[in-house]
Amino acid sequence: MNRLTKLMVLAIVTIMVVSLVACTTTPAPGKPGDNGGATSAPDKPAEKVKIKFLSLSADENRNNIREDYIKVNVSKDMPNVEVEYDLGGGGQDYANKLKAYNASGDMPDVWFSEQNLSVLVVAAGNALDLYPYVKGSDFEKNIKMKDLVAPDQDGKLYCVQPGADQYFTPRLFYHKDIFEQYDVEPPKTFDELVTLCETLKGKGIVPMSIVGKDGWTPNLHMVQTMIMAEDPQVAIDLTNNKTDFSNPVVKNALGRIQKLVQVGAFADGVTNIDYGPAMEMYTSDKAAMLAMFTWELGGLESASPDTDFIPWPSASDSVDPNGIIQYWGAPLSGYLASASSKNPDVAAEFAIFCAVQDALYYNIDQKAPTMYDTGIEIEGISPLLQKNLDQFDAAAIKVPSMWAATFNAQMSAEFATENSKLLTGQYSPDEYIGVINPIWAKNFE
Amino acid sequence: MKDYFSNKMAIFIFAFPALFLFTIFVIFPIFPEILISFQKNDGFRNMGYIGFENYTNVLQDKTFWRANYNTIVIVILSTFVGLPISLIFALTMDRLSEPMKRFFKASSVFPAVLSVTVIAQMWIAIYEPMWGLLNTVLRTFHLDNLALAWLSDSRTVVLAISVAFLWQYLGLNALLFYTGIKAIPKTYYEAAIIDGAGFIRTSIKITIPLLQDVTKYLLVLSILGSMSQFSHVRIMTGGGPGDFSRTVIYQLYYKAFSASDFGQGCAIAIIFVIECLILTFIINRFVAREKIEF
Amino acid sequence: MNKRKTRILVNTFMILIGVSFLFPMYWMLNISFKSRSEVYDNPFGLPREWVFNNYADALEKFNFLRYLSNSLIYSVGTILITVFFGSMLAYCISRMDWKNKNLALSYISMGLIIPAQVVIIPLLIINRDIGLKGTRMGLILPYSAFALSSCVLMLYAFFRSLPRELEEAACIDGCTIYQTYFRIILPVIKPAIATQCVLIFMNTYNEFFLAFILGAEDRIRPLTVGLLNFFVSIGVSHWGQIGAAMIITSLPTIIVYILGNEQIENALTAGAILK
């Protein structure tokens, strides 16, 4: 009997030890210099190169680009490539999926990711340096904003993008009809905005629709917008790590959001309102205003033809709301390729191809400009779109988004938590700053 | 015959597969978890051992304690509110007429067999502040002051989620109590009937004491089930507003996946296992008269 | 008089709760026939305008068959593995003579106090290292392992109540131990096994957390996770379609439940009597 017990214990222990060793060794990063064989082009033309491509599939724009542009044009422009499409869903699911791939080192050849996810992949050494492929290419020549194709301090470029994001900016959209009906004017200062919200609230309409779930609207722009309303330089300093959240301007900014919550500017239960319902609330005329980025401009105009927008009102006499603008783009938001791809040349080429398809989609379907010059004249844009572009071009100071360009994973997560608490109206800016500042201190590590 | 029951080969074949599977997926993962909990680890790389730093960070984190508090609230509610309601429901059900009994037996398991996603989504609609059922009802009774934004208010959110969670398993627990009642031999009641004891007295004196085994079973099941509550929170509020409705498991998920800190995530997991062990000890020591076998 | 009042009160309360159990059904059916925005104005009343194409639209956007087949594969796979191996171990511990069987019982019972949620991170790593990442087995095996504890404990109690004569008779007939087990012992504990099947099915079919993390690929996601994705990404704010998707996903369980209602109850009864 003893022997049996021993046998079983031995078997279990062996398995545990073996897998313990196997599980705790870090996976070897992909071998970078293993492309000697792949570049020597095989003579057989029938041999197609397989590329695994992961993209967001919960977002209308991303789906259209993949279905109407990439799928259609790849057979024309890159006939030697056979693409395997991996649809990754959206939001946190997409993030978890990419994180899981990244953790196992088993990346798709090419994928789309936003800055805060890309950073993780780059840090894990799983992203391919695209600079050798971009340098001197047509792609480089056609990009109007040279920062987008310039290498970082280490001489590397991990991401290619069409430069459409750089034109997206947060605006305050409103229903002209509702404003007329209640005889109110668009606000020019923050104080006017507060008064306006009080008035609208008194009439029984939701003054401003925002996406409150996980603090989305404050995360993506409202905190920064409120900072810039008082002193744009503070926002610039934050993105450059020259100041922190204890700056009094930041505290005032948080105080302004709290003020909006307290006067009832947002719907009841705003912390549980997701993107879709927030849009629905505006387009079904239940809310008078909507805080949103201009990437929804076209859709809003067709859903609610009485839509107009204003730049976010300023909170200080010295700030001209038209003079400063926040833009969404970030250096690592776009297409990346895997460092362990079996065909790095083709992967890089495909990533650049995808970036061009993005530009085509925005220019043709969205009538939106991109930093990549496709040579297409954008025609027939509505007066509202034109007004947006004119105002955008006229702005003297353009500040990158802190959320998109600066925050790491932990900072994003905690920032979202704190913003969600702020939206309850029962949470003070001081408590907020006390929590977020120690995390901010580690953001640039 | 003795050979039959001590056939070593057979014992090995019978015992090994299950023990093996169990070891690999349940017991073994504890070990790398302990290792990672002493590392600075972002889920991709081990960035060195840092001693107890993850543990001290977790224990100093206000959110972790809030998560513990929320978890305890859910456990207490499901033990002291959920189970008694199920028991009363079962006792009442036993006295109903046959068709009524059949109806309740059929309907009571229904929420438990439906997906958590559906149930949670329904409760979101019930709690919706502007058009939700609860607030509509409250407003018709002119109780506008009570019409809160249930899932967005830090004071009510845990309670609101607990109600949804308790309600989903209320019927199933009641049915399990009921089957326990059915299993009690009728002879036990004969004396009571002769004495003329009423429903309440019979229940307290005879039925409930004889339900001890089922009660223990359900007690353990519901305590451990509510300790590891995650899905209702994930779907109904995402832990929000802020971190006000996070449970311990949600905090573990948040640290590991949202904040990319696997070290702290694993530290929370280890602390949680210890908490569960202590709780089981308490159940064994004070609640169960006979030792529950684990 | 007072007694009567309390009784009426208690009964009303019970009936309210009992009816509330059927409320999800009403709610799902109701909104599945409403238009996109009617839910906001008229969330719980009958539809003012009946919309019938929500089902077609939801089915078009929602890969129901894939998710359903995944869910069924997970449930059935878990039941098979757990019941097969679990019953063997339970039998071995309760009937056979070996030194450390009580230790083995305590060991397997530890599973009851380790929720699957806490070992999610190592599970992810283990699945990756033994090549189960992105496969259905990568979910079935952990599910089975975690279902083992309660399965073994319950069947153990059952086996213990059986008379030894069963084996003795079989032995005289010349059966080997394996034949005895599968032909004679297992059929005797059928009710307990049925109970286990029902409990494991309900747990696995509705499991959310492991599937959410380990099923990172849409290809292998079960209904619970697929449905949540439908809410947050595809259905967005179209409650009519959300309702339709919910009805469609619940249909299999509802059918199983209506067909097997009696059996499930009997099975649960068998389980409750055991101790």
Q: In B, which residues are within 8 Å of A120 by CB distance?
A: 42, 44, 260
User: What pLDDT, on a 0 to 100 scale, did the predictor assign at position A285?
Assistant: 92
CA closest to C71 among chain B residues: B115
Q: Are A349 and A130 in contact (CB under 8 A)?
A: no
* Min distance C124 CA to chain A CA atoms (Å): 8
Structure token digits, residue A341: 């791809």
- Report which of A298, A303, A341 is spatially closest to residue A33, judged by C-alpha positions: A341
Tell me the pLDDT of chain A averaged across its residues.
85
pLDDT at A46: 56
What mean pLDDT is predicted for residues C87-104? 89
Preceding peptide of A162 cis, ω within 30°: no
By CA distance, what is A432's nearest residue in B? B242
Which chains lie within 8 Å of chain C at 3 or more CB pairs, if any? A, B
- Which pLDDT score, from 0 to 100, does residue A1 have? 41
Chain-chain contact of B28 with C122 (C-beta, under 8 angstroms):
yes
The answer to whether the Cβ–Cβ distance between B171 and C93 falls below 8 Å is no
Between C236 and C206, the more confident residue is C206
Q: Name the residue with higher pLDDT: C162 or A361.
A: A361
Closest CB to B45: pick one of A8, A15, A124: A124
Q: Which residues on chain C are in Cβ contact (under 8 Å) with A91?
A: 232-233
CA distance C115 to A261: 39
What pLDDT is attached to residue B293?
42
Ramachandran sector of residue B43 (left: φ over 0; alpha: ψ -120 to 50; beta: rest): left
Contact list, A7 vs chain B (CB under 8 Å)? 12
CB C11 within 8 A of CB B95: no
| Collapsed DSSP state (helix, strand, coil) of residue C42 | coil
Find the closest chain B residue to A21 by CA distance: B32
**Cross-strand pairs, A306:** none
Contact between A66 and A99 (Cβ < 8 Å): no
What distance in Å separates the CA atoms of residue A401 and residue A406, rounded to the nearest whole number?
Answer: 8
Q: What is the pTM of this model?
A: 0.85
| Cβ–Cβ gap A99/B260 under 8 Å | yes
- SS3 state of residue B50: coil
Whole-complex ipTM: 0.84
Below-50 pLDDT ranges, chain A: 1, 16-44
Is any Cβ of chain A less than 8 angstroms from the Cβ of C119? no
- Give the DSSP letter of residue C90: H
With an 8 Å Cβ cutoff, is B84 touching chain C?
no
Task: Give the residues across from A338 on adjacent strands.
Answer: A127
Asked whether the beta carbons of A226 and A254 are under 8 A apart, the reply is: yes
Q: Tokens in use for B272? A: 């949680």
- In angstroms, the CA B293 to CA C110 distance is 10
Cβ distance of A420 and B242 shorter than 8 Å: yes
Range of A306-320, B38-52, C58-72, C211-225 with top mean pLDDT: A306-320
Residue C222: its H or E element: none
Which pLDDT band, with edges at 50, 70 and 90, does B184 fall under? confident
Q: Which tokens is B195 given? A: 């004495």
Note the pLDDT tens digit of each residue in B114-157: 888 889 989 998 998 888 889 988 999 988 888 888 999 889 99
Confirm or reject contact between C209 and chain A (CB < 8 A): no
pLDDT of residue C163: 83
Query: Of chain A residues 74-113, which have a CB less than 8 A from chain B?
Result: 92, 96, 99, 102-103
Range name among A274-283, A378-387, C176-185, C207-216 with the lowest pLDDT average? C207-216
| Nearest in space to B30 (alpha carbons), one of B227, B278, B277, B269 | B269
Asked if C182 has any chain B CB less than 8 Å from its own CB, the reply is: no
CB pairs under 8 A between B and C: 277
The verdict on a CB contact (< 8 Å) between B24 and A15 is: yes
Of A19, A86, A87, the CB nearest to C126: A19
How much is the pLDDT for A144? 86
DSSP code, position C275: -
B249–chain C Cβ distance below 8 A for any pair: yes
- Residue A131 CA to residue A137 CA, distance in Å, equals 10
Give the model's pLDDT for residue C218: 72
Among candidates C88, C122, C223 on the partner chain, residue whose Cβ is nearest the Cβ of B29: C122
Contact assessment for residue C54 and residue C33, using Cβ atoms and an 8 Å cutoff: yes
Amino acid A253: pLDDT: 96
pLDDT of residue C263: 67
Phi, psi of A112 (to 5 degrees): -105, 130
Supply the DSSP string of B76-131, one letter for each residue. HHIIIIIHHHHHHHHHHHHTS-HHHHHHHHHHHTHHHHS-HHHHHHHHHHHH-TTT
Distance from CA of C39 to the nearest CA of B (A): 9
Cα–Cα distance, A255 to A237 (Å, whole number): 20
A290 contacts in chain C (CB < 8 Å): none
Give me the pLDDT at residue C2, please: 67
* Mean pLDDT, residues B187-215 taken together: 79
Residues of A in contact with B257 (CB under 8 A): 92, 96, 99
Contacts of B284 (CB under 8 A, 6+ apart): B291, B292
Can you tell me the mean pLDDT for B220-232? 86
Question: Residue B208: how many CB atoms within 10 A of its CB?
Answer: 15
Q: Say whether pLDDT at C256 is over 90.
A: no
Determine the pLDDT at residue B292.
Answer: 43
In eight-state DSSP terms, residue A160 is: B
pLDDT tens figures, C46-79: 888 888 888 888 888 778 888 889 999 999 999 9
Residue C141: list chain B partners with CB under 8 A.
21, 24-25
pLDDT digits (tens, 9 = 90+) for C3-42: 677 778 777 877 888 888 989 989 999 988 988 777 777 7
Q: Which residue of C has its CA nearest to B111?
A: C21
Cα of A138 to nearest chain B Cα, Å: 36
- If contacts are CB pairs under 8 Å, which of residues 103-162 in chain B contact chain C? 103-119, 121-122, 125, 128, 131-133, 136
